[in-house]
Amino acid sequence: MYGNDFAVPEEPLNAAETPEYSAALQDQADGVLDRDGEGTPHFDELIAADKRIEPRDEMPQEYRDTLIRQIAQHAHSEIIGMQPEGNWITRAPSLRRKAILMAKVQDEAGHGLYLYSAAETLGMSRDEMLDRLHTGRQKYSSIFNYPTLTWADAGAIGWLVDGAAIMNQVPLCRCSYGPYGRAMVRVCKEESFHQRQGFEILWALMQGTEAQREMAQDAVNRTWWPALMMFGPPDTGENASGGHTEQSMAWGIKRFSNDDLRQKFIDMTVPQAQKLGLTLPDPDLRWNAERGHWDFGPVDWDEFWQVVKGNGPVNAQRIAHRVRAHEEGAWVREAATAHAAKQARDEKKEVAA
């Protein structure tokens, strides 16, 4: 059913289709970043040797805190990110589109679960993380504070938002913290499907009527700049705004600056927009042969900070919905806990018998 009824560009469509991801996948299979189990080297030695830190290892408190903040924020983004597209499942234009979108949204729930589990290995419980999300003490990606107004938004989100997320996440496959890096390898594989389904939604719309093409263009106009903001504020050059980049790079958590990742994303995406027949809403976008990169116009960081502070179009709605879902799911958590306790009792009995 999911045939190649659209033109697949020959270049990689997202960062998970680049040699960088294949190399990380191979390293994981070969256990390159793993330890041979000999002794417990000091944290600094492990970082210097590009080896992984595991939950049992000693680590500086700041390293632990940085990872909890980053992984929890990532987990929250996965589950809050279910809302904008979940909003379209019942209204997707065909049964096939509904099935694909439902699978995609379900994948995001799975990503949230891997990531909460990874963060729990650092010593913060899932309850505590969710409590911090619900009370605004931990953030999620600001991109999800924009509404999805038309069906084309499902396409723009898959193509641009999942595409930007993968660009951020492929380098994290080599993160120095083992559980996070291993989760990222699997997450990126799935995100790659998400990005392709977004591209395909837009491709289909662009082959359609004038009204469908306009709808696709409008969704891209609204999504492009917030997608570029997903890489975070400038952290190199004269516009650098502090932040955690330098320390995170020294610890092997982060491998590229926000600016480098943003540029890579733009360079990969512009030819795809051309293939789709869509115009990216930036009059300053032009190829710079000298740099070998696309130049682009200024990002509105005031808008970014407004949304981060809670003043985006749907911040309050997203959190209210999340809290309601959590409260309505209380009986499921209670039932699962009771079931686990019963199973543990039964196993004990079996052992005793």
Whichever of 145 and 213 has its CB closer to Fe ion, that residue is: 145
For the bound state, the minimum distance from the C-beta of residue 115 to Fe ion, rounded and expressed in Å, comes to: 9
> Of the candidates 108, 153, 235, 259, which one interacts with Fe ion according to CB under 5 A?
108
Max CA pair span of the chain = 77
Whichever of 146 and 294 has its CB closer to Fe ion, that residue is: 146
The pair of structure tokens assigned to 223 is 């999504």
For the bound state, the minimum distance from the C-beta of residue 162 to Fe ion, rounded and expressed in Å, comes to: 4
| Residues in binding contact with Fe ion, number by CB under 5 A | 6
Whichever of 126 and 186 has its CB closer to Fe ion, that residue is: 186
CA atoms within 13 A of residue 89's CA, in its CB half-sphere: 13
C-alpha torsion angle, residues 79, 80, 81, 86 (rounded to 10): 90
Whichever of 112 and 178 has its CB closer to Fe ion, that residue is: 112
> SS3 of 286, please?
strand
For the bound state, the minimum distance from the C-beta of residue 107 to Fe ion, rounded and expressed in Å, comes to: 6
> Of the candidates 162, 235, 259, 282, which one interacts with Fe ion according to CB under 5 A?
162
Element (H, E) at 84: helix 82-86
Contact 203, 264 (CB under 8 A): no
Helix and strand numbers (H, E) in the chain are 15, 2
CA atoms within 13 A of residue 227's CA, in its CB half-sphere: 26
Number of CB atoms found within 10 A of residue 128's CB: 16
Told to check if 85 binds Fe ion by CB under 5 A, we report no
Residue ranges in 166-225 that form contacts with Fe ion under rule CB under 5 A: 191, 194
For the bound state, the minimum distance from the C-beta of residue 105 to Fe ion, rounded and expressed in Å, comes to: 9
For the bound state, the minimum distance from the C-beta of residue 81 to Fe ion, rounded and expressed in Å, comes to: 7
For the bound state, the minimum distance from the C-beta of residue 257 to Fe ion, rounded and expressed in Å, comes to: 23
Spatial distance between the Cα atoms of 244 and 194, rounded to a whole number of angstroms: 29
Q: Which stretch binds Fe ion (CB under 5 A): 101-109, 137-145, 317-325, 326-334?
A: 101-109
Number of CB atoms found within 10 A of residue 308's CB: 17
Whichever of 77 and 235 has its CB closer to Fe ion, that residue is: 77
Whichever of 97 and 194 has its CB closer to Fe ion, that residue is: 194
* Binding region for Fe ion (CB under 5 A): 78, 108, 111, 162, 191, 194
